[in-house]
Structure 1
């Protein structure tokens, strides 16, 4: 009787064991280089249990996944600049209520990085169903986040409807078909041995994260549904193909996007920074995080009403993406605007900068945002149907 019972349960036990083994190591889905101002910042890789070239499939499926980033910028990247890349990506690819719900986890993630990331540093963000998210730097655990849905919000920063870099997004969705040279370059990068003591010291600096209260939260979550505009229109949340083979005579009206499916957060101007710049500063809190996101939400809504599709670009079927860094003073006056990532068409690049100028001045900074100036970036897309 016992033998019969063992024979019945043994296949299930073997299957469970095999499943755990198969889940242990997600496969390489893609590798890409993230650049700003034509300079390489990091090489990243996406690993998943099941390979796919469809971002929606990867973002919807609950499966073991991980993102790995290896810093290649000679000067490294400051902790503030690194975390703001994710904060901005979260903002433009998530709904406002999701941002509110994940504010504490965003602050926790931000506070894990307490110093400048140096060249060859290796960041690993891994998620497994039921096990939450682990964040490691050079094989040293920085912390854990229990809610695995936060991983998919982080992943959407790079492969969502409004990725911070379209080229990087495409590179991560290669279904394992990765250039051998790039794969070898990524594998060859190894962190410096003398970093361990410094990174271990970060764990002693981690502040406690205070949950956001109703009194601290904004009085009203902005409504972010895109209003109707005269065609060609500015349509916010809907992804649109960048290029089209449709002839001019048969094409539907062209759409211009200032990309934002939710309020965007601050992103630094991506120029080389002096040693020590941005390394120190007040720790991000849920209150200041949301203040940044909703401030930029208002600014982007204003920018989108001022953005046009240049007629000459439209006549030539030109489409593309531009990302612009914007700096304002406390009164909302425009200090500067510069292109972080440009399209191949000068007409679109010029229109991106002109749209920012037409939108100034911006709202005055709220008290929750400190400093004499504020920086954020605006992903913009001009797309043919």
Structure 2
């Protein structure tokens, strides 16, 4: 027998429940830190100082945030269609391959043409790799969770083969492509602002951050202000009702998955074109899986996704500084803290929804 649905005001569901879950996660993380003899308050202060307390730290934080925005939006779009896309890692990997091929094959082109074409190639690669599981679910009944997991492994194997046997840099012992031409490299933010007289420390933050912000606006407009977005949300809410209303669920599933994969391709743009300036192995570094937690915490809304992405950006950058300042708090322990946040925001979401609902009911007098 299933539990009764939990009815919450929109503001409580979108803001209060995530805040309570994050607060509870931080309390538990504080107890973990306390158990090894360190002060949770001091650790929190160091984490915030390392991530937000300097321009350099902020630059690194926003660099991580960029990756989480792309992967969080990718998962969120699929969520709205009632799909659980956990193939962001594989989709970003294929996007990186497509972007690298565009940068290397179209090297004679000027940057004003090469950069947009490479970004479009990355989006096309990610869209293709997500479209196939969407097609299989829509037409063959293959569950998208299973197929996207399988496609993650296929993509991981494919990039190894290509970097070693086909696209590898001559004379290099590392699985990597040759360096991209200079006109294919995205401009670092510190150089961009330096042209206007603003001196900032060198960080990996680059103009793909602006692309991520544009993607937030674009996804909001798509989901909440377009006919396609309405169709996506209708299919996600009730496929049978959507079909009755003349909306083809199969086509919407495939389109939503393609858009989801294209957004995951933004991770490849940031890493390959903005930071590494070549395609390297394992550039996805787990960002695709963290995007699931970002979408869950953000309730699938672009504003929530941006805030959740910033939170994980703070954890990534601040955690690195924390482990440096406090050797007893290792990098692995910081990963555990991030895992606790994911656990509380995802698996225990229903628990906190019931808690918030009970508190609000008491506040209304029962």
Band the TM-score falls in, shorter-chain normalisation:
under 0.3
TM-score under structure 2 normalisation? 0.25
Higher helix share: 2
TM-score under structure 1 normalisation? 0.24
Higher strand share: 1
Q: Which has the higher contact order (CA 8 A, sep 6+)?
A: 2
